[in-house]
Amino acid sequence: MAKRAVYPGMFDPVHNGHVDVIQRSLRIFDELIVAVVANPSKEPLFTVKERLEMIDEATSGLNNFRIVSFDGLLIDLVARERADCIVRGIRAVSDFEYEFQMALMNRKLKDTVETVFLMPHEKYTYISSRLIKEVAGFGTSVAGLVPPIVEKRLAEKFPPR
């Protein structure tokens, strides 16, 4: 039986740490579903459609995964997709505290689903979508931190000064 995992997130925008976690997940699982949260209350910079497009381009050439969007409870998506596991990226201890609580809640809601925490490569541990947007908002280059498509889209949103 194939092992299927869901990697959820806002991905606003996707950055190289996210791509690294996707690549690491594909070495572990037979199939990965990258799930973009459609949560307008967080006021994302990019629409769901834009985030899906950027992830698609940033991961071209990778196999055995697909990209979906969802709203509502993650555990409901996991059940619909018949996944065995949730993948979460952890950069620091502060990430772990929140993610640990979420993993326990998801286990309470559906005890057959496991959560796996993956660390991105060390060179990406300080990257977050929030920091990427903040730096780009000042017209500073984020080259090397995000896939080229994201760099281009950020430059359209925040023209260089």
Tens digit of pLDDT for each residue in 13-39? 999 999 999 999 999 999 999 999 998
* Contact predicate 124/15, CB 8 Å: yes
25 occurs within a structural domain: yes
- Distance from C-alpha of 43 to C-alpha of 10, rounded to nearest angstrom: 11
Q: Which domain holds residue 115?
A: 4-125
- Whether the upstream peptide bond of residue 159 has omega within 30° of 0, thus cis, is no
| Mean pLDDT on 147-157 | 95
36 occurs within a structural domain: yes
| Mean pLDDT on 48-56 | 97
The token duo for 15 is: 């950055």
44 occurs within a structural domain: yes
Residue 115 sits at the vertex; the CA angle it makes with 112 and 120, to the nearest 5 degrees, is 160
pTM above 0.85, yes or no: yes
145 occurs within a structural domain: no
Please tell me the total number of residues recorded for the chain in this structure.
161
The token duo for 93 is: 């201890």
Enumerate the active-site residues.
18, 42, 91, 129
Domain containing residue 111: CATH number: 3.40.50.620
* Contact predicate 13/146, CB 8 Å: yes
Strands (E), 10-158: 31-37, 65-70, 85-89, 114-118
Q: How many domains does the chain have?
A: 1
141 occurs within a structural domain: no
The token duo for 3 is: 């092992």
State the chain's mean pLDDT as an integer: 93
pLDDT score at 42? 79
